[in-house]
Amino acid sequence: MCVLQRLRLGDEDCELPEELTMLLKQEERVIQPHQESVEVINLGTEDAKKEVKIGAGLENSVKERLSRMLRDYVEVFAGKIKR
């Protein structure tokens, strides 16, 4: 009796070939979006906030250089979109 017939009959002791087992496991996986912890930086003032998000896992020196560059080009990265 073939594997599929045994499965349809509810044969719990039926062993699936390794390749089929791997394919079934892949089907069960759910694709999750990548999520990274972020840090919000305000490039504006307290009254007129212009917030951007950067990766929280960056080294402090990289965060500082990135913050400086974002402040230098604030209108590019946090400006209002004209329609």
Q: How far apart are CA 5 and CA 29, in angstroms?
A: 25
Whether this prediction's pTM lies above 0.85 is answered by no
Is residue 65 in a domain? yes
Q: Residues 71, 46: one domain?
A: yes
The pLDDT assigned to 67 comes to 92
My answer on whether 20 and 48 are in the same domain is no
Q: Are residues 27 and 42 in the same domain?
A: no
**Can you read off the two tokens belonging to residue 14?**
């039926």
**Residue 83 domain-assigned (yes or no):** no
- Total count of domains within the chain: 2
pLDDT, residue 65, reads 96
Under 8 Å CB-to-CB from 78, ≥6 apart: which residues? 43, 44, 50, 51, 52, 70
* 23 and 51 inside one domain: no
Average pLDDT for runs of 10 along the chain of length 83? 59 72 79 85 90 93 94 81 63
What local confidence, expressed as pLDDT, does residue 2 receive? 60
- How far, rounded to the nearest angstrom, does the alpha carbon of residue 65 sit from its chain's CA centroid? 24
User: 61 lies in a domain?
Assistant: yes
CB 37 within 8 A of CB 56: yes
